[in-house]
A = this chain, B = another copy of it.
Amino acid sequence: MAPPGRPTIGVFDSGVGGLTVLCALVERIPDADYLYFGDTARLPYGSKSAATVAHYAVGAVRYLQDQGAELLVIACNTATALALDEIKSAAGVEVIGVIEPGAEAAAAASRKRKVVVIGTEATISSHAYRRALEARGVAVREKACPLFVPLVEEGWVEHPVTEQVARIYLAEAFSDDASDADVLVLGCTHYPLIKPLLRRVAPEHIAIVDSAESTALDVARQLGRQLQVEPEPSSSHKSSAHTKSEQRGVPHLKFFATDSAEKFRKMGTRFLGLAVEDVVHADLKE
């Protein structure tokens, strides 16, 4: 059992990408127990129907609740876009997705009331960010960037190829009637890893909103916490997370993966910027 006041937070993603959300959570709320579920055997969710994604996601969050999760974070843009309502109905605890916090932060940051959202093909086609932003009176240009995820997974986070791809994608994203947009939303959990590169490539006056950070802030608010330390806006989230957790509480992290635990450990450490050690293979029925 968790000590009083120390929450157990369940984080769900289709794979390792959601570890950037976990990283932001650990930075904001270090004195908590975290249970992270990566459905690595069944990823990617992007090519699957809404019904299938909902079915998988509900199974995973039930698993997290059985392990003791008292609050659930859906750190997967596709699952949030396609299945958040179903997950909320199935879960008996508070559920927070990544899209609303990202849209809220973008709407707050945009003076021009015009925002560019980048994400995977699946997230962009769902138009979930468009709906969330238009509901806040903000115009949206959506741009799928399908090469960013494989580039990050190849480890090319500071690589001339990635920079060239980013220049091409962002030029398209900010073209024509989006040329006066003043906010760029990172609508994919992999993108925080190339945030320093995107910061260099994007026009200087553009504010970058990272859904992972916005979500962590929202969770902290939900937990009624007073935030004492503001994270540096675009510096390496890895070292700062590590230092802060040592200064304040110490997070306990436990991981569940539906595919190989070893593979998760290897890839996960790169995404989290902290050692991914306690990985358990979770076998869910189809």
Contact = CB atoms under 8 A, between A and B. Distances in A.
Count class of interface residues, chain A = 20 to 34
Nearest to A121: B153
Interface stretch (A40-48, A111-119, A204-212): A40-48
Interface string A126-164: 000000000000000000001101110110000011001
Contact of A49 (B41, B43, B286): B41
Q: Is the interface of A mostly helix, strand, loop or mixed?
A: loop
Contact of A150 (B147, B160, B286): B147
Contacts of A164: 160-161, 164
Contact of A168 (B48, B161, B165, B259): B161
Interface hub of A40, A48, A153, A154 (most chain B Cβ within 10 A): A154
Tell me how many chains of this kind the complex includes: 2
A286 B147 CA distance: 29
Contacts of A147: 147, 150-151, 154
A78 to B, nearest CB: 14
A147 B40 CA distance: 19
Contacts of A160: 164
Nearest to A149: B150
Given A41-B47, A149-B150, 16 more contacts: A40-B47, A41-B48, A41-B49, A43-B47, A47-B259, A146-B150, A146-B154, A147-B147, A147-B150, A147-B151, A147-B154, A160-B164, A161-B164, A161-B168, A164-B164, A286-B286
